[in-house]
Amino acid sequence: MVPALRPIVEAFLPATCRLCLRALPASGTRAGVCSSCWRSLVYHEGPLCPRCGTPEISEPETCLDCRTKPPPWRGAVSVGPYQGGLRDLVLLLKNHACDELAVPLGELLAAALQRLGGPAPSLVTPVPTPWLRRLRRGYNQAELLSRVVARQLGRPHGALLVRRRGGTQRGLTRAARLALPSAVFVPHGRTAGTVLLVDDVVTTGATLEACTRVLLRAGADDVVVATLARAARPGASS
Comparing 185 with 4, which gets the higher pLDDT?
A: 185
Q: Does residue 174 carry a pLDDT above 70?
A: no
- My answer on whether 167 and 53 are in the same domain is yes
- Does residue 96 sit in the same domain as residue 17? no
93 occurs within a structural domain: yes
Domain that holds residue 19: 1-40
Residue 52 amino acid letter: C
226 inside domain: yes
Looking at the domain assignment, is residue 4 inside a domain?
yes
Determine, yes or no, domain membership for 237.
no
Query: Strand 194-202 vs strand 123-126: parallel, antiparallel, or unpaired?
Result: parallel
Do residue 1 and residue 76 come from a single domain? Answer: no
Same-domain status, 15 and 65: no
- The answer to whether 134 and 165 are in contact (CB under 8 A) is no
In a domain, 98, yes or no: yes
Q: What digits encode the pLDDT tens for the residues 83-112?
A: 999 999 999 999 998 999 999 999 999 999
**Pair 68, 93 in one domain:** yes
Max avg pLDDT among 43-47, 58-62, 63-67, 155-159: 155-159
Buried b (16+ CB within 10 A) or exposed e, 226-235: bbbbbbeeee
**Residues 64 and 98 placed together within one structural domain of the fold:** yes
- Name the domain count of the chain: 2
Looking at the fold, whether 9 and 63 belong to one and the same domain comes out as: no
Q: Is the pLDDT of residue 4 over 50?
A: yes
Is residue 49 domain-shared with residue 129, that is, in the same domain? Answer: yes
The pTM assigned to this predicted structure is 0.87
Taking each continuous run of H as one helix and of E as one strand, the counts in the chain are 9, 6
235 assigned to some structural domain = no
How much is the pLDDT for 134?
84
Does residue 35 lie in a domain region?
Answer: yes
DSSP code at position 128 = P
- Residues paired with 229 in a beta bridge: 80, 201
Residue 54 shares a structural domain with residue 35: no
Residue 238 is predicted with a pLDDT of: 37
The confidence score (pLDDT) of residue 15 equals: 86
Does residue 152 lie within any of the structural domains?
yes
State the CATH number of the domain containing residue 65.
3.40.50
Claim to verify: residue 58 and residue 168 sit in the same structural domain: yes
| H/E stretch holding 79 | strand 75-81
- Shared domain check, 184 and 89: yes
Nearest by Cα to 163 from 147, 192, 148, 142:
142
Task: Express each pLDDT in 126-139 by its tens digit.
Answer: 999 988 888 888 99
The CA distance from 229 to 15, in Å, is 27
Looking at the fold, whether 197 and 84 belong to one and the same domain comes out as yes
Instruction: Indicate the DSSP class of residue 157.
Output: B
| 113 vs 118: CA distance, rounded Å | 9
Select from 116, 118, 179, 111 the least CA-distant residue to 148: 111
